Amino acid sequence: MSFSSKVKAEIAQVFGKDSHCRNESKSDIIDTLDDKRAYVRTAFMSAGSVNGPGKAYHLEFTANDKRHCLELSELLREFSLSPKSVSRKGKFIVYFKDGDQIAEVLNIIGAHKSLLEFENNRAEKDVGNSINRIANCETANIDKSILAAIKQIEDIKIIVAGMGLDALDVQLHECAVLRLNNPELNLAEIGQKLSPPIGKSGVNHRFRRIAEIAAEIAHT
C-alpha cells in the first residue's frame, strides 16, 4: 500500500524542510496497519536519517512542529517501539539509539536491503565485542570456539534480517537465541542449556541447518 502523491506531499510538508506545514492530524489519513507503515515510510523518506556502519546506532525523523512529533512517537509506539524525542534548532526530533529498534523501523518502512546491511554490520560489531569478552575466559580450543561462534552469530543475524527468528522451528529458534545470548559458550555447553539437553553433535547439526538457511537467504 502507498499514499497518493497529494497525501505524500502533505506528510512531506510536516516532516520536510517546509516550515509552513499543514494542520492535518495523522488520524485524518491513517485507517489501517498498511496506512501506518506508509505514513512512517513517507516521514522517513521526507526527513529521516540513519547512521552508517562504524558509527553509534542512531536513526531519527525531523518534524516541523511538536504536535506532529508527538503523533509520530505515538504511532511508532503502536509497533511496540520506544522512540525518544528532543527539540533542536526549532525542529522536533524523534529518534532511536537501540540497534534492535532501529532494525524494526527499517523493517516497518520496507527498507529490507538496508536492514540486511545494517544487521550484517551490527553482527560484525557485536562479534567484535563478544571476542573481547571471550578473550578473558580460560577456555580450551578458544580460537576454534571463537571462529565457530562468529560464523554462527553471523548466520543468525542474516536470518533475523531476512525472515526473523520466529520463522525458525522451535529447536532451531531455541539454539539461535542461546547462541546470541551466550557467545562464549561451546557447543557442549549450549547443549546442556537446551530443553531437553542434547549432545554436542546434536547442537552442531542444528547450527549446520541454521547455516544452510542463512546461505539460502544470502543468495536470494
Helices (H), 109-169: 112-134, 142-162
Do 134 and 214 sit in the same domain of this protein? Answer: yes
pLDDT tens digits, residue range 135-173?
555 445 556 777 888 899 999 999 999 999 999 999 999
Instruction: Average pLDDT across each block of 10 residues of the chain; the chain has 220 residues. List them in order.
Output: 48 51 53 85 88 80 87 92 91 92 90 83 72 57 73 92 92 94 90 94 95 89
Do 80 and 131 sit in the same domain of this protein? Answer: no
Share above pLDDT 90 across residues of the chain, in percent, rounded to a whole number: 40
Do 98 and 117 sit in the same domain of this protein? Answer: no
Last residue of a domain, one of 104, 134, 151: 104
Q: What's residue 219's pLDDT?
A: 84
CB atoms within 10 A of CB 75: 21
For residue 183, the number of C-alpha atoms closer than 13 Å in the C-beta half-sphere is 23
Q: What is the CATH number of the domain that holds 45?
A: 3.10.28.10
Last residue of a domain, one of 104, 128, 147: 104
Contacts 24+ apart (CB under 8 A), 180-185: 180/153, 180/156, 183/127, 183/130, 183/133, 183/134, 183/149, 183/153, 184/130, 184/133, 184/134, 184/137, 184/139, 184/145, 184/149
Q: What does residue 191 show for φ and ψ, rounded to 5 degrees?
A: -60, -35
pTM: 0.51
Do 53 and 150 sit in the same domain of this protein? Answer: no
**What are the CA-CA distances from residue 23 to residues 2, 9, 59, 65, 164 (Å)?**
21, 13, 25, 10, 38
Query: What is the 8-class DSSP label of residue 93?
Result: E
Question: How many distinct structural domains can be found in the chain?
Answer: 2
Do 188 and 128 sit in the same domain of this protein? Answer: yes
Do 129 and 205 sit in the same domain of this protein? Answer: yes
Cβ neighbors of 191 (< 8 A, separation 6 or more) are 197, 198, 199, 200, 202, 203
| Helix (H) and strand (E) counts in the chain | 9, 4
Do 47 and 128 sit in the same domain of this protein? Answer: no
Residue with the three cell numbers 580450551? 140
Q: How far apart are CA 29 and CA 203, in angstroms?
A: 50
Last residue of a domain, one of 69, 104, 139: 104
Q: What's residue 67's pLDDT?
A: 87
Do 115 and 214 sit in the same domain of this protein? Answer: yes
Do 97 and 131 sit in the same domain of this protein? Answer: no
Q: Which domain holds residue 178?
A: 111-218
The angle formed by the CA atoms of residues 121, 124 and 130, to the nearest 5 degrees, is 140
Do 116 and 86 sit in the same domain of this protein? Answer: no
Q: What's residue 135's pLDDT?
A: 58
Do 143 and 99 sit in the same domain of this protein? Answer: no
Do 65 and 86 sit in the same domain of this protein? Answer: yes
